[in-house]
Amino acid sequence: MAMAALRREGRRFAPLISPRPITAVRSSPLYPTLEDEGPLGLRHISTQVVRNRMKSVKNIQKITKAMKMVAASKLRAIQTKTENSRGLWQPFTALLGDLPSADVKKNVVVTISSDKGLCGGINSTSVKISKGLHKLNSATGPEKETKYVILGEKAKAQLVRDSKKDIELIITELQKNPLNYTQVSVLADEILKNVEYDALRIVFNKFQSVVSFVPTVSTVLSPEIVEREAESGGKLGDLDSYEVEGGETKGEILQNLAEFQFSCTMFNAVLENACSEQGARMSAMDSSSRNAGDMLDRLTLTYNRTRQASITTELIEIISGASALEG
């Protein structure tokens, strides 16, 4: 009984523990409230609480470190494929030109995003650019319309909210099987069949390096527009100088060419986006585990202070108890 009273007394003299890093603990309903208010309004947090918090932060650090390594290995695998596919769309651009400024009535924006989260800001940038393109096109004239084709869950979640009526096609779970050209060409075929378009703009994140992902837009024009631009001269004027063989009409060849160009650029875009996703996830998980490490350091300091405080109070109790008995 006496000891309990002295313990309460002792707490009054306990060093003031700075509760700032752990104020969240008090308000969080998950943690048992093992602290109490002394008579002078001091907060005294028990070591148990701090220890629990340290355990969970350490687990978070382990998990994010593992996720980073997984993302790094996936990135390595897909990076070689991406680099090999980069040479594919360049001849098309050399022949047909990349004309983002072509004046067209029906625009289709193909937004490529990831299915899983925790990959930094790449999906938000893609969606922002898609919305920007939409606004740009509708601002230049009333008869212009823009439709969306969405690949990936994350863009779907963001675009369904405000542009539901403009969405033509949604495709998810792209990366269930490893990406290959046949799968993407089937996809491209679906899109071409179901959507009317004058120009297709593919929005994706180009993988420049492990830390830099540049949002890019690739434009594929429909064959009629290509004809129109070729006749008016300019960049596509050279197209007319080519003798076109291998089919009945030039139009038929151009149609096939446009489809092939679309599937090749789609393939490259999907691969680049996958690379960017893994790279972004790597850096997000890396900064997350570093933050967890910092938090763990701060918690360790707090834990030590708490521990020393409780030891000090015990000593004070014992000593004051002993001195009370003596004198």
Partner 1 sequence: MTLNLCILTPNRIVLDSEVKEIILSTNSGQIGVLPNHAPIATAIDTGILRIRLNDQWLTIALMGGFARMDNNEITILVNDAEKGSDIDPQEVQQALEIAEANLRKAEGKIQIIEANLALRQARTRVEAINAIS
Residues in contact with partner 1 by the rule CB under 8 A: 81, 84-85, 87-88, 91-92, 94-95, 180-181, 185, 239, 241-247, 253, 256-257, 260, 264, 267
Q: Of 191, 189, 197, 184, which is closest to residue 270 (Cα–Cα)?
A: 184
CB of 94 to partner 1, least distance (A): 8
3-state secondary structure of 71: helix
C-beta of residue 217 within 8 angstroms of C-beta of residue 202 = yes
CA dihedral 287, 216, 182, 250 (to 10 degrees): -170
Q: How many CB atoms lie within 10 A of CB 41?
A: 6
CB of 187 to partner 1, least distance (A): 13
- The two most distant CA atoms of the chain are separated, in Å, by 117
CB of 68 to partner 1, least distance (A): 28
C-beta of residue 153 within 8 angstroms of C-beta of residue 115 = yes
CB of 73 to partner 1, least distance (A): 20
Both tokens of 24, joined, read: 């969240």
Residue with smaller CB distance to partner 1, 54 or 181: 181
Give the chain's radius of gyration (CA, Å): 31
Residue with smaller CB distance to partner 1, 68 or 206: 206
CB of 219 to partner 1, least distance (A): 18
Q: What is the DSSP letter of 259?
A: H
Residue with smaller CB distance to partner 1, 112 or 159: 112
| CA atoms 284, 287, 290, 295: torsion sign | negative
Residue with smaller CB distance to partner 1, 145 or 259: 259
Residue with smaller CB distance to partner 1, 232 or 241: 241
